[in-house]
Amino acid sequence: PAAGTLRRLPGSRLPDFRENVLFGQATFDHTRFPGFGNAAFFAFVDYDYEPTADWPVQASQADRLPRTRARLRSGQRVKLVAYGDSITAGGDASRPDLVFWRRWAAALQAKYPQAEVEAVNGATGGDSTVQGLQRLQAKVIDERPDLVLVGFGMNDHNVGGVPVPQFEANLETLITRVRQETGAE
């Protein structure tokens, strides 16, 4: 194999994806596999690396969330709701604390120890933006968040999914309602 690749050898402890129900599927219809996850087929690899000189430098975008930033800096409570599909919900994460929005909330809490960062999982596995709009009141608006992280898309593009113009319109409606009905960023 080429440098930087992994190859499963016979008898290896690495999972064999040929045993996965999705192996060999030409198309994927998530409704045929409710509750299915890939966690048993993941291989976790840890490695050290030296970034190249042209590695992208993160630029602060805190100015895009002025109210959230002000609340954090002044030591107030900030409630964030993560809203989306199974990826947002944490499906297939090896541990709950490794879900992206939980890690981000923990990083905010560490950076602003005087503030109280509350993170709520409002995501539902299998949801597209259609279900996202249907559940918006109960999962987001009723929570009265200060900040909403939106993560939809994987189920919108599945077989029989949401056409791109409708996906865009659904996201715009979702964001507009959150802003108008909660004032959240």
Strand partners, 78: 117
Q: Would you say residue 15 lies in a domain?
A: no
Higher pLDDT, 6 or 185: 185
Asked if pLDDT for residue 7 goes beyond 90, the answer is: no
Domain total for the chain? 1
Within a 10 A sphere around the Cβ of 56, how many other Cβ atoms? 6
Q: Would you say residue 144 lies in a domain?
A: yes
pTM assigned to the model: 0.79
Within a 10 A sphere around the Cβ of 128, how many other Cβ atoms? 22
Higher pLDDT, 59 or 140: 140
pLDDT of residue 1: 63
Q: Would you say residue 140 lies in a domain?
A: yes
The CATH number linked to 105 is 3.40.50.1110
- Averaged over 55-83, what is the pLDDT? 92
Asked if pLDDT for residue 35 goes beyond 80, the answer is: no
Strand runs (DSSP E) across 75-132, as ranges? 77-84, 116-121
Report which secondary-structure segment, H or E, holds 136.
helix 129-139
- Averaged over 34-52, what is the pLDDT? 75
- Averaged over 70-96, what is the pLDDT? 93
Structural domain boundaries, residue 137: 64-182
Q: Would you say residue 88 lies in a domain?
A: yes
Within a 10 A sphere around the Cβ of 81, how many other Cβ atoms? 26
